[in-house]
Structures are given as structure tokens and as C-alpha cells.
Chain A
Amino acid sequence: MKKRKASAGGAIKKRDPRKDWQLYLLLLVPVIYIIIFKYIPMGGLVIAFKEYKVRKGIWGSDWVGFENFIEFFQSYQFWRVLKNTVILSVYTIIVSFPFPIIFALMINSVRNEKFKKVTQTIVNMPHFISTVVMVGIVFAVFNNRTGIYGNLVHAITGSWPQDLFASPSNFRHFYVWSAVWQNFGWDSIIYTAALSSVDPSYHEAAQIDGASRFKRVIHVDLPTILPTIITMLILRMGSVMTIGFEKVYLMQNSLNLSASEIISTYVYQVGLSAQGSGDFSYATAIGMFNNVIEFVLVVTVNKISKKVSETSLW
């Protein structure tokens, strides 16, 4: 083992890589991991351009060019799943983005520390509920016979209400509002943290000028957290095409499929589910279409934001 020279100063200068062999050794496992589990699947995307047969393997299967993509674009499912994905996602962003900001601004105005602490603990809690349980809670609470909803309507009107989950239009509301319920508290943490860095002298100055508390929220608090808001908005805008498979799949039933079939669930439906055709190439092409748009969106949104606000993710 080589001994380090005593004059190890000049740390900013790039060092002789041979001296850092231990660091490269440490990096070996993570790099191998990322190559196997992230980059090999990216390479696996070639099957989107092939007619994948298990017997022939990825490399042995025949090339078909863009046939799978064209088939998808021309199928009647294309507009349906694309529309469902975008609507669900935009709806989610519009509703779930402002909530944590407003909540953070309000709880920041609360001066009773104990009240603040207790409420924050409670509203952050649902973030740790698993997706399966979350959907289970929604189903249980809004059950039209046994849940709070059913019993409440029955107690008031004397008759049992309709099954809410049988309607496609309700699917989106349940999906979005349960996400708000689960995450608004947790998502507000980042804003409350940013608010704690507001310089008190701004507030004092504004107070001397006669600004009310509400005015100070608008003119002092809000501008302070604006960079955080923009960064978070970029993150969200970029993920318009990213909707988790799990929750949508769990909330799906045969009656709401016209609103709840999104791209990721359709990929599963085509490629892996028992009812699907098992066409891996076609399913991969659909998934890849989604990933490419997602990628372009993140990069574009970030470029725009860099220009407009000098805030960017990288």
C-alpha cells in the first residue's frame, strides 16, 4: 500500500487517479448495480423495435422498426390512455401543488408552538401509509353500505346511496383528493423549512410601514419561498407523464376503466397480465413512448426555467 505524501494540500486540483484506487474500489459495487439494474433495461428497450420471442432472446428476435409504435398510435386505445394519463396528472398537479404552499404559509403564521407541533405531526402522518392501505381506507370509508359515507347518507335521507366506485368520473376525484389528503402535510415541510429562513428584519420593517400580517405573508413570506416553489413546480411539470402504476391499478375496476386505464397500467395489461396478449415488444414500445415524452418534458421545462428564473435542477 502506497503511503500518502505529506504534502496532500491543493485539494481542489485533480489528483493522480492511482492514489484514489480505494475510492474507485468503493464505487465498483454501485456502478455495477446501476449498470445491471438501470442501464441494461435501457438497452432492453431495443425489443420495442423488434418482435420479441422468448426462444430467440433479445438479440435473436427479428427487427420490425417502428411497427410497434405505429400500431400503438393507430390503435383506438392510444388516445384513450394518453388522455387519461394527462388528465389525471394535470388534475393532480393543479389540486395538489398549491395545497402544501398555502398550508405552510398558514401554519407559519400560527404562533402557538404546541398547536403547531401537534397539527404538523398529525398531518404528516398519512404520508407513511402504504398505497395498498390508502386505497383500502378510501374503499372502506366511502363504501355505500358499510362505510361512513353510506351510513351518513342513510342516516340523513333514509336510503342507501349509489356505489361511488362504479362511476368512471369519480375515479379521478378519489385518486386526486386521496393523494391530497395523504401528502399535503408532508409536502409542506419543504416550504415551512424555507419559511424559517425569512429574515425577521423584513417583517419588522414591513410592520413599521404599517403592513398587516396578511400583507406581510404576501409581500415578505411568499417571495422568500418563491425559488423553492419554482423548483418544486419544475419537478412536478416534468413528471406530468409519470403517474405511479400502483395506486391507479389498485383503484381500477371493470366499471371505471374508461377513466382509469393509463399508460403504465395499459403496459401491464398488454404485457404481463393474465388477460393480456403477452406481447412484450408492443408493451415495451408503449412504455418507451411514455418515458421518452417524460424525459423530453423534464429537460425542456428545466431549460425554460433556467432562462426565466435562473432556477434549475442541474
Chain B
Amino acid sequence: MNKKTKIKYNQDRLYYIICYAVVAILTLIVLYPVVYIVSASFSNPDRTVQGDVWLWPVDINLDAYKMLFNYQKLWTGYGNTILYTVGGTIINLVVTLTCAYPMARKNLRGRSQIMFLFSFTMLFSGGMIPNYILVRELGIMNTRWALLLPGAMSVYNMIVCRTFIQTNIPDEMLEAAQIDGCNDLQFLFRMVLPLSKPIIAVLALWYGVSHWNAYFNAFLYLKDNDLYPLQIFLREILFASSQIGETEEMLAEEVTRSQYMYVAMQYCVIVVSTAPLMCIYPFVQKHFQKGVMVGSVKG
């Protein structure tokens, strides 16, 4: 080994060490708060607040969970969120696919004009107040439809789906099917949908997660406790101390018995609301990433 390659080798080793170290440190920074919150939720509330929990649970204790599970609102919120997620995702998929399939046809007359109609909405929108007036005028204010209809399709997702169909279902296949007397709807159901399973999975995941996490529309359009999704309930619990004025009557009498308990319960509610997503995430992350890649291909 001559001197020059030796220097290079050392330089490379230093570079690799830095890479591994930085990646490892960033990973730990991401991981630590998550582990801490899970540990804090399972620890004795007194010990948590006194600062005895640093990494692993201390003096394991499920009282805070028991207290949380006694809230009827948690279960109502959970039920509603599942309903909005399942119902909303089905609506999203139907609308997105019925839009993406025709838009994937290069020879459809008026295609570019219709495409403009859709993509323009990504650049400009009416905004909060006109949307609010619309929801009111449609008579769906304070109903479940207010969460299901306004976001029935994301134009971005539709374009991703269209690009997928264009690149994965060759024109020759359509021609062959047409020769055999297959019409457009038959082609959609017999060929396009079965061949688009990967992108349908990706879209279902994207839409599903966004419904699960959605807060804004419920916050604007719903007044009725029975309709609230989980995220609204979360806000009540998580921000009670900073916004006592709004939530005092609901929580005060139940909460005063233990301020510590309440802090512990905040950790629990974070875990309970986020656990379903985090549990399925490692298994489906491949699909999410695939979707990002499909989206980056311009059609």
C-alpha cells in the first residue's frame, strides 16, 4: 500500500465513522422521547412527576390507564375515529380511482383541460371561511358528512395513482382487451383494479392515516360531543392545563384528586391514541415508501 492510498483509506474510515455516529445519534434523538413517554405511561405517576423515570418504567403501575379507560369520551372518540377512518378511506378510494383511471388514458378528449381543472385546486383554494360557509349551506354542519365529504379526494394522490396506472398497464393490454370486445368499465374492473393492488394499498394507507390523525375539520365543523373523533378528545386531555378555561367543567371534578395522576394520564393517552398506527407501521412502511417513489415520477 503506497502512502497516498493509505491516507485515502484513513480519510474514508473517518468519514464512515462520522456517518455511523451521526445516523446513530439522530436515531437515538428520535427514539428517546418515544421510549420515555411509553415508560412514563406505565410508571407510578408520583415517581414520573418526581423525575425518577429516565428511560425504563419505574415501579410499574396501571392506575393512570385505568383512570383513562373510565372516560366514556375516549371510547366514543375511538369508535368515531374508526368510523371516519374506514368510511372516509372507502370514499377516498372510490373517488380517487374513478378519477385516476380515465385520466390515465392519453387519448381521452378533453383530458388536459380536465386535468387542469383538478390540478389548479392544488395551487389555489377558497380558504377557511368560504369552506365553512359551504359546509353550512350544504346543511352538513355538525354531521358526520362534514368530515367525510370535503376531503373526498386528494388531487395529489389521484395524480400518483394515475401515474401508476399509466406506467404499469401498457396500452397494448387495453388494445388487446378491446379487440376481445371488452368495454372501458369491464377493463377497469377486470384488469386495472387487480393490477393496481399495490397502489390501492398505498393510497388506503395514506388516506387512512390522514383520517386517523385529522383534527382540523372536526374542530371547525363539529359541535356535538357524540360525533367527536379521538383527536378532539386528545386535545382536551393534553392541553387541559394550558387552556383550563375551556375544559374546566368537564375535567376538574374528576381530575382534582390527583394532579400527578393527570400528568401520567396524558402520557397514557398519547400511547393509546398512537399505538395502533405505530404497531402496524413497521409492517407497512415499505408500501408507504413505494408510494413516495411513485409520486416522484412525473407523468
Contacts and interface: CB of A to CB of B under 8 A. Distances in A.
A202 B179 CA distance: 47
Contacts of A304: none
A183 B281 CA distance: 15
A185 B239 contact: no
A136 B33 contact: no
Interface residues of B, number: 104
Contacts of A39: 121
B119 A314 contact: yes
Interface stretch (B56-64, B195-203, B262-270): B262-270
Give the interface SS of chain B, mostly helix, strand, loop or mixed: helix
Contacts of B133: 41, 44, 47, 58, 280
A284 B123 CA distance: 17
B175 to A, nearest CB: 6
A11 B30 contact: no
B274 to A, nearest CB: 6
Contacts of A136: 234, 238-239, 266, 269-270
B188 interface: yes
A314 to B, nearest CB: 7
22 contacts: A20-B102, A26-B98, A27-B103, A34-B121, A36-B138, A44-B130, A58-B133, A119-B27, A125-B278, A132-B215, A136-B266, A137-B37, A140-B37, A140-B267, A141-B37, A253-B242, A264-B128, A267-B127, A271-B128, A271-B129, A283-B129, A295-B123
Given A15-B108, A245-B128, A253-B242, 19 more contacts: A4-B181, A4-B183, A11-B174, A14-B109, A26-B185, A34-B117, A37-B131, A38-B121, A38-B125, A47-B130, A125-B281, A130-B231, A132-B234, A136-B238, A151-B51, A189-B292, A213-B12, A272-B132, A284-B127
Interface of B: 4-5, 8, 11-12, 15-16, 18-20, 22-24, 26-27, 29-31, 33-34, 36-37, 48-51, 94-96, 98-99, 101-103, 105-110, 114, 117-119, 121, 123-134, 138, 149-150, 152-153, 155, 158, 171, 174-175, 178-179, 181, 183-185, 188, 209, 212-213, 215-216, 220, 231, 234-235, 238-239, 242-243, 263, 266-267, 269-270, 273-274, 277-278, 281-282, 285, 288-289, 292-293, 296
